[in-house]
Copies of this chain bind each other. A is one copy, B any other.
Amino acid sequence: MVAHDPRLRLTDEARESLLAQTIELPSWAFGNSGTRFKVFAQQGVPRDPFEKIADAAQVHRYTGAAPRVSLHIPWDLVDDYEALAAHAADLGVTIGAINSNLFQDDEYMLGSLTHPDPAVRKKAVEHHMRCIDVMRATGSTDLKLWLPDGLNYPGQDNLRARQDRLAEGLQEIYAALDPEHRLVVEYKFFEPAFYSMDIPDWGTALLHCLALGDRAVVVLDTGHHAPGTNIEFIVAQLLRQGRLGAFDFNSRFYADDDLMVGSADPFQLFRIMHEIVSAGALAPDSGVNFMLDQCHNIEPKIPAQIRSVMNVQEATAKALLVDTEVLEAAQRSGDVLGANGALMDAYNTDVRGLLAELRESQGLAPDPLTAFAASGYTEKIVAERVGGAQAGWGA
């Protein structure tokens, strides 16, 4: 029988990989969010980018694994980015990817980079110039572009012409990047457009990246696919092309639910991490940025981010426990049950104790959620952050 104690099975190398893994947090996850029906306000929610970064730093403080914070422009516009970066550094974190926003300006109602009107397209391109300035000011190297453009009705616009306009706009943006910058392009199956998105799938995103150049890579948001889509296959495919730039982690039962990663289908998250690990893409220099992109509509935001980081860590630890030799031998010999069993053996292992020990070895509390709850931080921000406009989507 297989030894079920994972500590006996984790190699030193795997242990180092686990310790080295980092997960980027999105600033907007700390503001209020909701559905089209209602955004429920929570007490203590940040009122500006500085407070968002402070909250994000708490997640890093208790997990030791979340040292970067993505910004969102214009939501996170501030007068002084050096001050924001310094604030982050003081709290032990750095600025990660810069996300451009193409969905909240009235002029973008019928599209931004794909809009029939050249003036609107020009405006959308120029917004990215502003984002690149923020990158320079903050030291960020990833410009992240999620295109909300699309159509609600058949015939509303010309599907193919929109691809041409998009290619043109991306070219201008890509040309403006500094040599150390990447353009990371995200795709989405549907929403906010309900007939056809202009970048609906990985194939479309990849074709645009291939046309742009080596520093254009694809972002895979785990919630942005048709029902039943095999996401780990896409992970493998993008890795094979050398174009998997980042993850936007979250989870879903139906549409783009943006629930905590690993909460809807933990086995899927494990399978994704297995593709990452087996392709050697866990290493910090692999070019794959692991980010969260979630909406905490009804649960408290900081603990929800902590839990999400832990979920990614648990899936990663299990992926690192796969006995590669046993797995590959079974695969080679056509032993269907044996190969599947080798994978499941790792998945079925309880790695929470292992991760608790690793945290303690880093001087962290074994259970980040308990430690955060005991810290009094929540009570403090609820008391302090009274008045002012809470941050949220659109704020």
Contact = CB atoms under 8 A, between A and B. Distances in A.
Interface stretch (A126-134, A185-193, A380-388): A185-193
A309 interface: no
Contact of A255 (B156, B190, B279, B394): B190
Contacts of A33: 36
A204 to B, nearest CB: 6
A203 B151 CA distance: 22
Contacts of A202: 203
Contact of A348 (B227, B314, B340): B314
A89 interface: no
B300 A337 contact: yes
B117 A196 contact: no
A293 interface: no
Interface stretch (A8-16, A59-67, A104-112, A283-291): A104-112
A236 B40 contact: no
B230 A228 contact: no
A278 interface: yes
A297 interface: yes
Contacts of A352: 4, 348
Nearest to A120: B334
Contact of A336 (B37, B153, B206, B347): B153
A314 B4 CA distance: 14
Interface stretch (A47-55, A71-79, A168-176, A237-245): A237-245
Interface stretch (A19-27, A91-99, A136-144, A264-272): A264-272
Nearest to A237: B204
Given A337-B303, A348-B352, A298 B110 contact: yes
A259 B152 contact: yes
A163 B240 contact: yes
B116 A332 contact: yes
A46 interface: no
Contact of A253 (B164, B225, B230): B230
Contact of A331 (B158, B206, B259, B327): B158
Given A194-B259, A241-B207, A367-B1, A155 B254 contact: no
A356 interface: yes
Nearest to A106: B40
A36 to B, nearest CB: 5
A213 interface: no
A145 to B, nearest CB: 15
Interface in A218-261: 225-230, 232-233, 236-237, 239-241, 252-255, 257, 259-260
Interface string A305-345: 00100000010000000000001100110101101111110
Nearest to A366: B1
Contacts of A153: 259-260, 263, 299, 336, 339-340
A158 B240 CA distance: 12
A202 to B, nearest CB: 6
Contacts of A263: 153-154, 340, 344
Counting from the closest, the 6 A-B pairs by CB-CB distance are A203-B203, A155-B343, A226-B226, A194-B257, A350-B350, A227-B227
Given A156-B331, A163-B236, 11 more contacts: A156-B340, A159-B275, A163-B237, A163-B240, A189-B228, A194-B254, A194-B257, A195-B230, A204-B237, A207-B241, A263-B340
